[in-house]
Each structure stands twice: as C-alpha cells, then as structure tokens.
Amino acid sequence: MSHDDGHGCFMECDEPSLDQLDEDSLLEVFGYFSFDELLLMSRVCTRFLQLSRRCLRKIRHFELDYRAIASRDFSGGFIMNEDLKRGIVEGVALTCGTLQHLTINYVELREEHLVALTALLSHLTGLDLGRCALRDETFGPFIAKASMLQTLAIPGNAELHGEFLERWADCQRMEQLDVSYCYSLNVGNLKPFLARAVKLKAVDVTACQWLEKDKGIFHACERTIESRAELPVFAYFKHG
C-alpha cells in the first residue's frame, strides 16, 4: 500500500458518519434540527426515529432551550384560541431570558401577561406590541420599567389614551416611537414625554386624530423630531 493510499484510509477513519456518534452527541446534533428536518431524519432508521421522537416531544411540550435567542417575533393573527396565544407569550417570558428584540402582535395582553414580560425589560432594546388591546392602567406600570428601550411600537392599540407616558420617566434611550392607529391618544400626554425622551428622533403618528389639530408639537422641542409613517426600524403589517 502506497503512502497516499494510507493517508486516504486515515482520512476516512478520521471522519465518522452521523450514525457512529454516541446517543448524547446525537441528541446534541438533533437539537439543532427544525420540525421538518426531524420528521425527515425519523425515516432514516429506527435509532434516528427514537431520537427524533424525543426531540419532537420537547417541541410539543415547549421544552426547548431558548436562552440564547436574542430576537423573537410572534403574531397571533391566525390563532383563534386566545388561551393558546397567551400561553405562548408566557412561555417566551419564562424561557427567552436574553431577548433584545421582541415582537408580539394580535394577542390580547392582560395584566398578568405584562407582569410576566416585565422580567425581559432589563435587556430589551426593541419592543413591538402592536394590536394587543393595551390599556393605560396595565401598560403604564409595565412600560415604566423599560429603561433600556430604544424603539417602541404599539400601533393599533385604540384604547390607549397616553397616561402610560406619564409613568415612563426612564425613557432617555428612546430613539423611535410608533403610536400609529392609536386613535384615542391624547396629545397632552405626549408633550412631557417628548421633553424627557432626549434621544427621540422619529415618531410614527399615522391616523392619530389629534395630529391635524396640533402639528407643531414636534417642532416645539429644541431638537428635530420626524413625524412620518414609515420608520425604518419597524417593518410589520401596518394597516388599520
């Protein structure tokens, strides 16, 4: 056998196939597969079927490790079961401990769900709670603890009058705010907030009724604040 043949044999032995791995190693590998990939792997052999079932069981019972996820989007628009939608929200609050950006749309968020999400506010820099039936009395205590936020999107929350802005004292990092389609928002509650949010650069006020009466609110500050409809950071479905 030549030197080249021996080298080729060594290289083949040095690269074990997937089915040669021990069970713990395989479970680690299978943990990276998506739902569809697990179904595909389950057809390979009996051993892979058993491993896939173990991983699929974790998915079914929401036993996944989400600790390293930095961004999460969830829309409940096509889920009719409200309890299921809120259960998913609670799961995100419990398991996604390092989130920096969170989007939850079309889910009615009650006080207990906002309380659960409060644990994420110490590191969230971007939050989108569009069309979540928010109310000032429950959203106010929640957002008051959001000291790290740079972007906040709450479009389509028609019952918000703006009292929550009065409680949000620690908003100095805010750069972009979306209150589009918040029809009941009171401009009087927005003025003091603009003074506190010293880094605020843009506000989306699409379909806000008070805008026609007080267009000069954004020019009264000692800095330039844009009021427009398409903020670059926010890229979600935006129709009333």
Confidence of residue 14 (pLDDT cuts 50, 70, 90): low
- pLDDT digits over 18-66, tens only? 777 787 888 778 777 777 787 788 888 888 888 888 877 766 554 444 5
**What is the pLDDT at residue 141?**
97
Average pLDDT estimate for 180-191: 87
Name the more confident of 170 and 188: 170
Whether pLDDT at 5 is above 80: no
Report pTM: 0.67
- CA separation (Å) from 71 to 46, 93, 119, 232? 36, 12, 15, 17
* pLDDT cut 70: percent of the chain above it: 75
Whether pLDDT at 118 is above 90: yes
Whether pLDDT at 71 is above 80: no
**What is the pLDDT at residue 236?**
44
- CA separation (Å) from 194 to 76, 165, 183, 199? 31, 10, 19, 9
Name the more confident of 230 and 140: 140
Name the more confident of 88 and 134: 134
Average pLDDT estimate for 169-181: 93
Whether pLDDT at 145 is above 90: yes
Go through the domains of the chain in sequence order and give each one's CATH number: 3-60 (1.20.1280), 71-227 (3.80.10.10)
Average pLDDT estimate for 200-209: 85
Contact 146, 168 (CB under 8 A): yes
Q: Count Cβ atoms within 10 A of the Cβ of residue 85 and give its class: 0-12 exposed, 13-18 middle, 19 or more buried.
A: buried
Other beta carbons less than 10 A from residue 195's beta carbon: 11
* pLDDT cut 90: percent of the chain above it: 35
Report the C-alpha gap between 107 and 84 in whole angstroms: 10
Contact 130, 107 (CB under 8 A): no
**What is the pLDDT at residue 109?**
93
**What is the pLDDT at residue 175?**
92
Residue 215 three-state SS: helix
